[in-house]
Amino acid sequence: MKTRITELFGIQHPIIQGGMHYVGFAEMAAAVSNAGGLGIITGLTQKTPELLAAEIARCHQMTDKPFGVNLTFLPIVNTPDYPGYIKAIIDGGIKIVETAGNNPQKYLPLLKEHGIKVIHKCTSVRHALKAQSIGCDAISVDGFECGGHPGEDDVPNFILLPRAAEELKIPFVASGGMADGRSLVAALALGADGMNMGTRFIATKEAPVHENVKQAILAASELDTRLILRPLRNTERVLNNDAVQRILEKEKRLGDKITFQDIIGEVAGVYPRIMKEGTMEAGAFSCGMVVGLIHDIPSVQELVDDIMKQAESIITQRLAGAIA
Ligand SMILES: Cc1cc2nc3c(=O)[nH]c(=O)nc-3n(C[C@H](O)[C@H](O)[C@H](O)COP(=O)(O)O)c2cc1C
């Protein structure tokens, strides 16, 4: 399939694996890129720029296809060494960066100077237009369904994507709620040039996470995610568990007076315990509503092949057949 996204990034299929904390290691990114999509290493999961450089080098050994690095600019207490991470990206020969969170403007000139294409993840049309105006090459439009940070506007993709299509000139992919060939065709129909998936890629053979995480995703339904941190205006969609219930109870009890310190035990430093050790009740972790559409653990190649086969069949048979 050829779209503006496959052309921009030099990939076979318009499928991107979004950056995921403690999931987006070299194994994940290489598997997606080898399957013809665009794999992305999560920059900040690597604790230092030197470790990111080593992870990039490891990924180069696993694939000769293009892959990217995610740089998330979120309100974190200790600001990471972004210039150091960007140097590791440039020196590592990376040509695609997925930015997310705060406006990446400060770092764009340097990235551009080195021929790096930037896809910025946004949860609103106004942020997407801003990203376009500062020179981003593409947008990942993240709807309210998404795992992770859906923003504060709560606009689902059935509205957000066509709104983005009305306004944006640069290519964009649909992110949030994407799982299969149906999602891809729907995304294209709504004006996107491809799709970005997070949660779906965790339930694959190659995803470098504990088996408990994959089984939890398989067991969950579309009713099993919750929104936390809304009173802090840093809303996150997570898989429900006891820790999430504790957070929600504190949010209810403390209202607007809640601070990060009140929930630190349930959110800080919990990713390695969940993703690596499989301690599912250790805290809150991002998960999309799309979890209700995930019923198997295929290899990444099987998943991508199935998506493309299903999308093609929907377009050429079901939809073409509906035209009388
Ligand atoms: C476990 C997990 C961790 C994530 N970590 C990050 C992250 O560190 N940075 C980021 O920009 N997005 C992160 N995301 C969001 C994904 O890149 C993607 O935008 C989102 O998962 C899309 O929604 P979906 O899960 O419905 O496919 C994360 C998502 C999940 C499920």
SS3 42: strand
Q: Which of 146, 209, 213, 238 to mutate to test the pocket of ligand 1 (most atoms within 8 A of CB)?
A: 146
Looking at ligand 1, which atom is closest to the CA of residue 275?
1
Question: How much is the pTM?
Answer: 0.98
Distance 153 CA to ligand 1 centre (A): 18
Distance 67 CA to ligand 1 centre (A): 17
CB within 8 A of 218, min separation 6: which ones?
203, 294, 295, 296, 297
Strands 67-73 and 39-42: parallel
CA–CA gap between residue 42 and residue 51 (Å, rounded): 12
CB within 8 A of 15, min separation 6: which ones?
32, 36, 37, 38, 184, 194, 195, 196, 197, 304, 307
Q: Which of 145, 212, 214, 286 to mutate to test the pocket of ligand 1 (most atoms within 8 A of CB)?
A: 286
Distance 323 CA to ligand 1 centre (A): 37
Low-confidence ranges of the chain (pLDDT < 50): none
- Would the CB of 40 count as within 6 Å of ligand 1? no
CB within 8 A of 319, min separation 6: which ones?
185
SS3 183: helix
CA–CA gap between residue 82 and residue 73 (Å, rounded): 9
Q: Could you tell me which residues are beta bridge partners of residue 98?
A: 70, 119
- DSSP one-letter code for 316: I
Name the residue at shortest CA distance from atom 21 of ligand 1: 198
| Cα–chain center distance at 114 | 24
CB within 8 A of 58, min separation 6: which ones?
26
CA–CA gap between residue 63 and residue 26 (Å, rounded): 9
CB 145 within 8 A of CB 183: no
Q: Which of 15, 21, 149 to mutate to test the pocket of ligand 1 (most atoms within 8 A of CB)?
A: 21
Distance 285 CA to ligand 1 centre (A): 10
pLDDT at res. 2: 98
Which tokens in the block code for residue 303?
């998943």
pLDDT at res. 77: 66
Name the residue at shortest CA distance from atom 4 of ligand 1: 20
pLDDT at res. 74: 78
